[in-house]
Structure 1
Amino acid sequence: MNNMNAQLNLPPPLELTDFNQITSRLDEAINATLEPKLDALVGKQVLFSADEKQCSPMEGWESKNCFASINMIPAINEPSIVAAIDSSCVFIGETVEGTIYSAKCGVALSCMGKPLMHFKIGPMLFYINDDITSSSNIDERLWRFVLFDTATAKRMVRVRIERAIQNEVCKFLTNAIILVDGSLKRSVFEDRLNGFNNILRNCESNGNQLVGISKTTRLKILDQLASSLMRSKGACYIDVSAVVRSLVSNIVGKPLLAKLSNDGLVLRVDVLDESMESVGKLIVNDIIANGYPETLRLAHHISIFSTIDVTCLKGFILSKFGVREMMSEDIRAKLLGAFL
């Protein structure tokens, strides 16, 4: 308390007027470093967050400054297999030298609006430590970051697994639509054998067409452009290549904002062909529910982990590798209270 008095230059004992003065000075300091600007909210449309999850307005934003050409997506009634690929990765545990992760991948196929098959790959276990640096074909400085950051490590595992499966699918399918979750762009985590360039070559050799679909975007300008699509009828798109390329690097192909069905949501869709043939075939050969391909939805659901999955993996590690489980505690809950 003595240190606090010296810093704030307040004579003891503190009285109510002193607390008012402290509050006033703190308010002034905060407003000086970051103005609230709440007066600018008057009359605005507001989309409130639901548990900090990203949402989109059902009727779109009122936009006066964003103008773009809307193009229709012609349906191409030609049989083509649609193969969707998605994956997930979870943190399982750690040792003093490394970390344990598990990954699953889902693949779903359809043709002419009918599901053909789906299957799950995994769960697979990976122990990430210094010993596998030499076999990873990844920059050593980046690998160090992978070792110490769980989110980066999970991203690396997903990229490598998805690229490997995408590459193999592109090899054994012909004249197919290969759907991937997310945008089409190169990653620093790719390995040489299954890099994006190899995937593109295999697609071209077998007549396959690669399409990337993103459920959300972090680019605010795209949300504004999407509003005009939401009010349009039928399957349609806006070419946003110029906008995306000015803000994001490593993009492959042509980024679009697209609505794949009349009542669908607007998605970010990346294609490689200028003719939009791949998307025209997609809306015929897949089931499009709420504007999202059913194969990609199914691939997502069969690749995610349940609590039981994680518990079983921990039991498998205990029984298979003779590890000794350490007692643990939630540091945040211990310090701040279990009710938080």
Structure 2
Amino acid sequence: MIEQIHYATTPKYNFPQIRENMSLPKRFIELSLNSMSEIKERCFQPWIDLSNLQVERIEEQEDIIEVYGKDTLSLISSLEPVPDGTPIIAIDTSSIKVGETGSGIICAVRGAVVWNEKKRYKYLRLGPFPFHITEENRKEILSILGQYSPINFGSSLFLIEIQSRLCNALEKWIQMMISRSVSDSIILWDGSLTSKSSSGYLDTLAGILRNARNNSNIVLSFSKASTVRFLGRRITDLLSKHKAPCILEIEEEMLSLSSKNLRLLGKIYVARLNDKGYTFRVDVDRSLPKEIQIIAIQRLLGNDIIFQGYPEALRLAHIFSTFTASDVIGIQRFIAREYGLKVVTWPNIRKALFGPFGTGGAGD
């Protein structure tokens, strides 16, 4: 099966042209250039710790969702693949800290779009965009991100969290543009379709889903971890012994939300898409009829490769957006040369004080 996968960079004419609402990327690029122009000829300490400093994005913290109902397992049904040639499009973003200056941190943000048509995978990368984040410019950054920053934040955010907000904003813009630019497609996201009503993210998410529906697209959002529980167990454990492919439908009246502030914009399913893979929570736009929701998952099965229970297009989007060690070194060399930075090695106070125990979180 692996030999049948074809990867190709994508000529511009093969990808739907994005013409509307270019304000965010324009401001995004300007923000990147302006923030980096502040560090010319300053000292710069490169970082390369991929395990601790790579951030996909920070999602809103979802409260525990309990599932009640003795007939829950009766809602498990088998799936039949529908190989009808539907395009599968996946989106993911990530960011990474690449170094420090005397006044802040330097990070890079990148997004990727992968699509599968007729068993051929193509991709488009956006970025990397470097940013210099400081105590002085973080409020400006959040204000420029506007509707694409999912939560109204105060001034107490750590700089590493601002990095994640930049990642969030780029991802939401890509999702918005894809939902407007393609039609009759399955669009795959990473995460869930939930939001708190007190956040500005709710309206943005609802708008993206509405644009997708208007163009006959269907959004499926895969969660690698979920707060949904049944009798204290993870909801994904319920399908571990059932023959794949199958799904468990979670009826809305079976859910007990611990927070009245939480809004579900997706119908929750639990999907086990092949016998050798994992089980995932899958959210499908709840405004669509139930029959369309289930057919969408079957069309995904019929038109994309499923690897370890996960769509190949979404797996590739993660890979193409993620930063490797070579990427980070290349970014560091570029910005050091472009901005005339003096590379230095500052002492690590935590390691000097605590030795092998000198680790800690962003707030230390």
Q: What TM-score, normalized to structure 2?
A: 0.66
Match of 2:128 in 1: 123
Answer 1 or 2: which has greater strand percent.
Answer: 2
Match of 1:309 in 2: 327
On the 8 A contact 2:206/2:265 being kept in 1, the answer is: no
Relative to structure 1, is the Cα distance of residues 159 and 251 closer, same or farther in structure 2, using a 3 angstrom cutoff?
farther
Which of these two proteins has the greater Rg computed from alpha carbons? Answer: 1
On the 8 A contact 1:260/1:291 being kept in 2, the answer is: yes
Structure 2: distance between partners of 1:94 and 1:279:
44
Structure 2: distance between partners of 1:258 and 1:66:
18
Displacement after TM superposition at 1:258 (Å): 0.8
Match of 1:58 in 2: none
Displacement after TM superposition at 1:339 (Å): 8.3
Displacement after TM superposition at 1:77 (Å): 3.2
Structure 2: distance between partners of 1:230 and 1:263:
10
On the 8 A contact 1:133/1:140 being kept in 2, the answer is: no
Displacement after TM superposition at 1:143 (Å): 4.8
On the 8 A contact 1:88/1:303 being kept in 2, the answer is: yes
1:67-122 deviation per Cα after TM superposition (whole angstroms, max 9, x unaligned): 5221222333322100011111112234455432211212111135x133123222
Relative to structure 1, is the Cα distance of residues 330 and 288 closer, same or farther in structure 2, using a 3 angstrom cutoff?
same
Query: Is the aligned partner of 1:203 residue 2:212?
Result: yes
Match of 2:239 in 1: 229
Displacement after TM superposition at 1:297 (Å): 0.8
Match of 1:281 in 2: 299
| Structure 1 unaligned residues grouped into runs of 5+ | 1-64
Q: Per chain length, whose mean CA-contact separation is higher, i.e. which structure has more relative contact order (CA < 8 Å, sep 6+)?
A: 2
Farther-moved stretch of structure 1 (266-275 vs 73-82): 73-82
Match of 1:318 in 2: 336
Structure 1: distance between partners of 2:316 and 2:150:
34
On the 8 A contact 2:112/2:320 being kept in 1, the answer is: yes
Match of 2:184 in 1: 175
| Structure 2 unaligned residues grouped into runs of 5+ | 1-69, 359-364
Relative to structure 1, is the Cα distance of residues 182 and 238 closer, same or farther in structure 2, using a 3 angstrom cutoff?
same
Relative to structure 1, is the Cα distance of residues 87 and 257 closer, same or farther in structure 2, using a 3 angstrom cutoff?
same
Equivalent runs, 1:44-123 vs 2, <5 Å: 67-69=72-74, 70-95=76-101, 97-111=103-117, 114-123=119-128
Structure 2: distance between partners of 1:177 and 1:261:
19
Match of 1:132 in 2: 141
Q: What TM-score, normalized to structure 1?
A: 0.70
1:92 counterpart SS class: strand
- Residue among 255, 270, 273 paired with 1:257: 270
1:215-264 deviation per Cα after TM superposition (whole angstroms, max 9, x unaligned): 22345548544333121113111123546661472331111111112333
Match of 1:41 in 2: none
**Percent sequence identity over aligned pairs:** 28
Structure 2: distance between partners of 1:110 and 1:298:
11
On the 8 A contact 1:136/1:191 being kept in 2, the answer is: no
On the 8 A contact 1:238/1:256 being kept in 2, the answer is: yes
